Amino acid sequence: MSFDSDITESLTDLFESAGTEAVLTRGAVDTDCHVDIIRGVALQPDGFAAQVSGDSIIIEFLLSEITTEPERGNIVTVGSTVYTVDSIAENDGYTVKVIVRKG
């Protein structure tokens, strides 16, 4: 096995055992996946020195489950809670973190 396949296998095990089941909706296509929801994140807007904190929420996906990054406006459903993707926060090639808002 290679380093990349070892990392992917380990992350898959982690997301499947500790992640929360979710559905990523892109247009009419639903993708079942596992996510990590990170609440209360302090975000720093581009071009500003001050931090803005609030009810910021980041959802982390395993790229091997969803294939490509979610796009702005995609929907993430976790249980009965619906989130809308606003932007990509980070992509390390294994996972992708997106900034979302409820609704």
Q: What is the mean pLDDT of residues 49-73?
A: 85
pLDDT band at 47 (very low <50, low <70, confident <90, very high): low
Residue (of 44, 56, 46) closest to 86 by Cα position = 56
Give the pair of three-digit tokens for residue 33. Answer: 């996946």
Residue (of 65, 88, 84, 68) closest to 76 by Cα position = 84
81-90 pLDDT tens trace: 999 999 999 9
Q: Assess whether pLDDT exceeds 80 at residue 6.
A: yes
Could you give the domains of the chain?
3-102 (2.40.10)
Residue pair 103/97 in contact (Cβ under 8 Å)? The answer is no
pLDDT score of 44:
60
- Say how far apart CA 99 and CA 57 lie, in whole Å: 6
Tally of CA atoms within 13 A in the half-sphere of 28 that contains its CB:
0
- Say how far apart CA 82 and CA 102 lie, in whole Å: 6
Taken as a whole, the chain contains a residue count of: 103
Residue (of 56, 10, 54, 52) closest to 37 by Cα position = 56
